[in-house]
Amino acid sequence: MRTMKFPKRYLVVILTFICTSVCYIERVGFSIAYTFAADAAGVNQASKGTILSTFYYGYACSQVPGGWAAQKIGGRKVLLLSFVLWSATCALVPLDPNRVFVMVIARLLVGVAQGFIFPSIHTVLAQWVPPHERSRSVSLTTSGMYLGAAAGMLFLPSLVKYRGPQDVFLAEAALGAMWSLLWFKYASDPPRSEHPKATAAGFGESMLPINGSHKLKIENGGSSIRSAKIPWKRILLSLPVWAIVVNNFTFHYALYVLMNWLPTYFELGLQLSLQEMGSSKMLPYLNMFIFSNIGGVVADHLVTKRILSVTRTRKLLNTIGFIVASLALMAIPIFRTSSGAVLCSSVALGFLALGRAGFAVNHMDIAPRYAGIVMGVSNTAGTLAGIIGVDLTGKLLEAARSVDSSLSSPESWRLVFFIPGLLCIFSSLVFLLFSTGERIFD
Query: How does DSSP assign 302-364, residue by residue?
Result: HHHTTSS-HHHHHHHHHHHHHHHHHHHHHHGGG--SHHHHHHHHHHHHHHHHHHHHHHTTHHH
Question: What does the alpha-carbon distance between residue 147 and residue 210 come to, in Å, rounded to a whole number?
Answer: 38
Give the three-class secondary structure for 403.
coil
Residue-level pLDDT at 442: 65
Number of Cβ within a 10 Å radius of residue 306: 7
Residue-level pLDDT at 41: 81
Q: Is 219 exposed, middle or buried (0-12, 13-18, 19+ CB in 10 A)?
A: exposed
What's the angle, vertex CA 203, arms to CA 199 and CA 204, rounded to 5?
A: 90
User: Taking phi first (over 0 means left), then psi (-120 to 50 degrees means alpha), and beta for anything else, what does residue 271 get?
Assistant: left
The answer to whether the beta carbons of residues 391 and 64 sit under 8 Å apart is no
Q: Which residues contact 208 (CB under 8 A, 6 or more apart)?
A: 71, 214, 216, 225, 228, 369
Phi, psi of 129 (to 5 degrees): -100, 130
What's the angle, vertex CA 105, arms to CA 104 and CA 111, rounded to 5?
A: 90
Partners of 219 in beta bridges: 222
- Could you give the C-alpha distances from 199 to 128, 188, 231, 369, in angstroms and in order? 10, 17, 22, 12
Question: What does the alpha-carbon distance between residue 148 and residue 259 come to, in Å, rounded to a whole number?
Answer: 12
Question: What does the alpha-carbon distance between residue 255 and residue 239 come to, in Å, rounded to a whole number?
Answer: 24
Pick from 71, 66, 431: nearest CA to 248: 431
Sign of CA dihedral 350, 354, 355, 359: positive
- Could you give the C-alpha distances from 249 to 54, 71, 378, 388, 442, in angstroms and in order? 17, 23, 8, 10, 26
Helices 45-61, 100-115: axis angle to 10 degrees equals: 40
Residue-level pLDDT at 274: 67
Question: What does the alpha-carbon distance between residue 49 and residue 63 come to, in Å, rounded to a whole number?
Answer: 22
Give the three-class secondary structure for 216.
strand
Q: Which residues contact 171 (CB under 8 A, 6 or more apart)?
A: 29, 156, 159
Question: What does the alpha-carbon distance between residue 104 and residue 58 come to, in Å, rounded to a whole number?
Answer: 10
Instruction: Give me the CATH code for the 8-190+230-434 domain, please.
Output: 1.20.1250.20
Give the three-class secondary structure for 37.
helix
**Rounded mean pLDDT for each run of 10 residues along the chain, 442 residues in total:** 68 94 91 85 79 84 84 88 92 83 89 90 84 79 86 86 88 94 89 45 38 37 49 89 95 89 81 70 84 90 91 96 97 86 92 92 84 82 86 87 77 91 97 92 72
The answer to whether the beta carbons of residues 392 and 253 sit under 8 Å apart is no
Partners of 222 in beta bridges: 219
